[in-house]
Amino acid sequence: MGLFSIELNSMEDLLLLQLEDLYDAEKRLTEALPKMADAAHSPELQQAFRMHLQETEGHVRRLEQIFKELNREPQRETCAAMKGLISEGSDMISAQGNCAVKDAALIAAAQRVEHYEMAGYGTVRTLARQLGREQIADLLQQTLDEEGNADKILTEIAESSVNAQASRAR
């Protein structure tokens, strides 16, 4: 989190910092998802990544709406965790080897991202509720629900086809 020290004097400060972190994470993800879709071999997985890109663009817009409701300009606080998760995903994108195993690796990387996002959105939603910001909490819950659904879709793709194909690789 940056070169400058962070000052947290209120729950509002914490809420804003967490929103800025999520905003950075989502912006980074909009750059990474097209690369993951291009690297995937399974048409179903390619489609899942492309669909989630559209959802992620909606998450960015939703966060921008939240900043507006808070009378703030959207700002990004570097999300070191997302940088690391995307770096791991990039390793899977550039990996050589069996296509099905690579798809399984892409799913694993993507699910790590989804779980991180679910933790972040759940935390921020709870902060918003604590502060009596129910409208903001509802918007964050919508995103949390979509992140959970994306994770379920990835699990279904892994369990229904990709992992079985990958397990036959030698």
Domain at 77, CATH number? 1.20.1260.10
What's the full length of the chain, in residues?
170
What angle, 0 to 180 degrees and rounded to 10, lies between the N-to-C axes of helices 43-69 and 99-130? 20
**Pair 12, 132: CB distance under 8 Å:** no
Q: Is residue 6 part of a domain?
A: no
Q: Is residue 52 part of a domain?
A: yes
Q: How many domains does the chain have?
A: 1
Look up the pTM and report it: 0.93
CA 61/CA 69 separation, integer angstroms: 12
Q: Is residue 32 part of a domain?
A: yes
What angle, 0 to 180 degrees and rounded to 10, lies between the N-to-C axes of helices 11-39 and 99-130? 160
Domain span holding position 46: 11-167
Q: Is residue 2 part of a domain?
A: no
Q: What is the pLDDT along the chain (170 residues), one digit of tens a residue?
A: 455 678 999 999 999 999 999 999 999 999 999 999 999 999 999 999 999 999 999 999 999 999 999 999 999 999 999 999 999 999 999 999 999 999 999 999 999 999 999 999 999 999 999 999 999 999 999 999 999 999 999 999 999 999 999 999 87
Q: Is residue 4 part of a domain?
A: no
Sign of torsion over alpha carbons 138, 30, 18, 91? positive
Q: Is residue 1 part of a domain?
A: no
Q: Is residue 15 part of a domain?
A: yes
pLDDT given for residue 4 in this prediction? 63
